[in-house]
Amino acid sequence: MKATLLIGRRELRAFFRTPLAWLILAGSTFVMAWVFLWYVQRFLELQPRLPAAGPGVSALVASPMLFWAGILLVLITPLLAMRLIAGDRARGSFALLRTAPISSTAIVLGKYLALECLLGLVIAVAIAMPLTLQLGTSLDFGRLLAATVGLLLLAAAFGAISLCLSAFAPHPAAAAFGSFAVLLILWLFNLASKTAAGADSALAYLSPGHHLMPLLAGEVSSADIAYFLIVTAFFLGLAAWKLDLDRLGA
Amino acid sequence: MSNRNSREPPLIRVRGLSRIYPEQRGVHSLHFTLHRGEVLVLLGPNGAGKTTTLSMLCTMLAPHGGSIQIAGFDLARSPRQAKRALGYLPDPPPLYPEMTIKQYLGFCARLHGISRRETPAAVATACRLTGLTAVENRLIEHLSRGYRQRAGIAQALVHQPEVVILDEPTAGLDPLEAHRIRALIGELRRDHGILLSTHLLAEAAAIATRVLILDHGHIVHETRLDHPGAAPLRLRLNLGAPPDESRLGTIPGVAAVETLDAGNFLLLAEPGHDPREAIVRAALDYHWKILALAPHHPSLENLFLRVIAGRETA
């Protein structure tokens, strides 16, 4: 546990010493602000035509905007995760962790912790934008809370997948491309969400987007939460297993 | 194997260590030990298995057979205790360029279980030993190659391990820096057992107390360099008016004589005897015109070439 925190803290500090991390944070904030303002403007145009008991600003601005924040995570998680293990290995510093008296699990969890702190920061910025609407109207906080939990769970799963690919890839660039491809394909499974009969397809069930949507709409179900937790645990376990496997391989 | 620390259990005990790759590469059934106060050098041509051996000792690779004990702990059964007794400098050194020397060594110390309270003292000691105190607040990315190598060595020492393992510690350094690193290794020897690999013969000759020559994954030769007096003395003698070879053999203390060419002889002394004075006296008495008399150390280079070339022609 001590080693996990130690590694996590070091990685987090190292993140903020690279221009890439600042660029990603600045870029994602800009994109989210753009999307947010676009939805606010559309809401202002729609508002006069909305019935009094109809959907409010939380449903028409916050939820769709946070869905875009989810798509943004598909792009930035691989870039943030690529240097964590593959980058360390490529420049030779991984030997330090490998020969220290700590387990592979502690290494993986430490790096994961740093990654999740950064993604958490991105999500905090995303949530802060709709929260400012509280100044002029009243928000559905239950719905926002569910959406926050949804995004955090999405970040947990994406972080685990990207870190796992960082453990498998020989170079950081391969890790970034690989995990971007995996996240994108998983996300696109959602497009196949309805079969001809109108039921959810099996492919859609694998898509994180499919499980994120109800949470963004304020519907919390244990099945969706379980999906994210299982994906997270599976890929973190796989990453730790790969690090142990490296000792046996050629 | 006699050693002045032989009463103390060895810091490293390797038995039957193997790791097999296709096409006969890898290492095959290595046996060796390392004691405190020793600098054991693994010498061999590229691809001989030096780095593979060191990687197994440092748990970067799992062995296919055999056992490794470090400071009495079995590496397979008690990896954490064994790793705590071990400092490792891989090639290239495992540095984080975005950290200062002080931050980096502090991180390394904590990673090896040094408490937060003891860390500053441990870092200061490692900096002092490796001559990094003046640059401890500089970023590693701004340091010269020599300083980076020293930071790598400091990293291997910061938790005060009993065993220090160095993979090609002077690779890519200029001669002055390489000399400084070798002097440092000589100092470290007092408190640690040091195992290092190199393909530089001069380096091995300069710092080793014992050399293992590796070829194709086998230990093909082992030689001690720290007790030259224990072996019978070999002398090179050059005479202007040489007598018969057998006449030289009658000088007291001389065990054998070999004629190298006209006037040049190689004399082997009887164990524990130094016949130099007797040789000079005989040369003066019988007017052999002594031109030169000097101890003859077969160089490590000769030994290396003989062992490796001998295997290749065999």
DSSP bridge pairs for B82: none
- Residue type, position B140, single letter: I
Q: What is the structure's pLDDT at B244?
A: 86
The interface residues of chain B toward chain A in range 2-21, judged by CB-CB distance below 8 A, are: 21
**Residue B160 token pair:** 């005060």
User: Which structure tokens are listed for A59?
Assistant: 């449903």
Mean of pLDDT values over A125-138: 88
Which whole number is the average pLDDT over A105-114?
96
Question: Which of B53, B82, B95, B85 is CA-nearest to residue B157?
Answer: B85
**How much is the pLDDT for A193?**
57
pLDDT at residue A161 tops 90: yes
CA dist B28 and B49 (Å) reads 9
What average pLDDT does the segment B56-68 reach?
90
Q: Give the integer Cα–Cα distance in Å for A207 and B202.
A: 62
- pLDDT score recorded for residue A33: 94
The label of the residue with tokens 């376990």 reads A237
For chain B, give the longest Cα–Cα distance: 76
Three-state DSSP class for residue B1: coil
Rounded-to-integer distance, Cα B261 and Cα B227, Å: 30
Q: What are the distances in angstroms from CA B146 to CA A224, B168, B177?
A: 55, 13, 6
- Which conformational region is residue B113 in: left (phi greater than 0), alpha (psi within -120 to 50 degrees), or beta? left
* Sign of the CA dihedral with A126 first, then A128, A134, and A140 last: positive
**Contact flag B111-A96 (C-beta cutoff 8 Å):** yes
What is the model's pLDDT at position B6?
Answer: 53
User: For residue B194, what pLDDT band results from cuts at 50, 70 and 90?
Assistant: very high
Interface test with chain A among B78, B95, B96, B145, by most A beta carbons within 10 Å: B96
Task: Give chain A positions within 8 Å (CB) of B59.
Answer: 98-99, 247
Which residue do the tokens 């190689």 mark?
A: B266
pLDDT at A7: 95
Which candidate, B181, B101, B116, B120, places its Cα nearest to that of B146? B181
Which is more confidently placed, A136 or B65?
A: B65
pLDDT of residue A200: 65
Find the length of chain B: 314
The 3-class secondary structure across chain A, one letter per residue, is CHHHHHHHHHHHHHHCCCHHHHHHHHHHHHHHHHHHHHHHHHHHHHHHHCCCCCCCHHHHHHHHHHHHHHHHHHHHHHHHHCHHHHHHHHCCCHHHHHHCCCCHHHHHHHHHHHHHHHHHHHHHHHHHHHHHHHHCCCCCHHHHHHHHHHHHHHHHHHHHHHHHHHHHCCCHHHHHHHHHHHHHHHHHHHHHCECCCCCECHHHHHCHHHHHHHHHCCCCCHHHHHHHHHHHHHHHHHHHHHHHHHHHCC
Mean pLDDT of chain B: 86
Chain B CB contacts of A100 below 8 Å? 83, 108, 111-112
| pLDDT of B227 above 60 | no
What is the pLDDT at residue A62?
A: 86
Scanning B81-120 for CB atoms below 8 A from A yields: 81, 83-84, 86, 88, 90, 92-96, 98-99, 107-108, 110-113
Residues B245-273: b if buried by 16+ CB within 10 A, e if exposed: eeebeebebbeebeeeeebebebbbeeee
Average pLDDT over residues B22-45: 87
User: Residue B262 has what pLDDT?
Assistant: 84
Query: For the segment B242-290, what is each residue's pLDDT rounded down to a tens digit?
Result: 888 888 888 888 888 888 888 889 888 887 788 888 999 999 999 999 9
End-to-end CA distance of chain B: 28
What letter does residue B139 receive in the DSSP assignment? B
Helices (H), B85-161: 101-111, 119-130, 145-157
* Interface with B, mutate which of A7, A18, A96, A245 (most B CBs under 10 A): A96
Domains of chain B, each with CATH number or no CATH: 12-228 (3.40.50.300), 229-300 (3.30.70.100)
- Return the C-alpha torsion angle A40, A42, A46, A52, nearest 10: -30
Average pLDDT for A78-100: 92
The alpha-carbon radius of gyration of chain A (Å, integer) is 20
Peptide bond into B93 cis (omega under 30): no
Instruction: Mutation target for A interface from B58, B77, B111, B155: give the one with most A CBs within 10 A.
Output: B111
pLDDT band at B128 (very low <50, low <70, confident <90, very high): very high
Range B82-86 average pLDDT: 92
The predicted complex's ipTM stands at 0.88
Domain count, chain A: 1
- Among B32-41, B154-163, B203-212, the range scoring the smallest mean pLDDT is B203-212
Residue B230: pLDDT band (50, 70, 90) is: low
Answer yes or no: is pLDDT of B195 > 90: yes
What does the pLDDT read at residue B298?
66
The DSSP bridge pattern shows strands B290-295 and B234-239 to be: antiparallel
The region of weakest confidence among A165-174, B125-134, B195-204 is B195-204
> Under an 8 A CB cutoff, do B99 and A14 touch?
yes
pLDDT value of position A250:
47
pLDDT bracket for residue B2 (50, 70, 90): very low
- The string of pLDDT tens digits covering residues A195-214 is 555 556 677 788 888 899 88
The residue with greater pLDDT, B304 or A100, is: A100
A vs B: CB pairs below 8 A: 62
Q: What percent of chain A has pLDDT over 70?
A: 94
pLDDT band with cut points at 50, 70 and 90 for residue A71: very high
Distance in angstroms between the alpha carbons of the first and the last residue of chain A? 30
Chain A residues inside the 8 Å CB shell of B102: none
Examine the pLDDT at B47 and tell me if it is beyond 90. no
Cβ–Cβ contact A98 with B under 8 A: yes
Which whole number is the average pLDDT over B90-103?
93
Q: Are strands B290-295 and B26-34 parallel, antiparallel or unpaired?
A: unpaired
Confidence band, pLDDT 50/70/90 cuts, at residue B3: very low
Rounded-to-integer distance, Cα A107 and Cα A116, Å: 14
Question: What span, in angstroms and rounded, lies between the C-alpha atoms of B50 and B56?
Answer: 10
Residue A57's domain spans which residues? Answer: 2-248
Whether residue B309 is predicted with pLDDT greater than 80 in this model: the reply is: no
Under 8 Å between Cβ of B154 and B105: yes
pLDDT > 60? residue B4: no
How many angstroms away from the CA of A6 is the closest CA of chain B?
7
pLDDT in tens, B130-187: 889 999 999 999 999 889 999 999 999 999 999 999 998 988 788 888 888 888 898 8
pLDDT at A148 over 70: yes
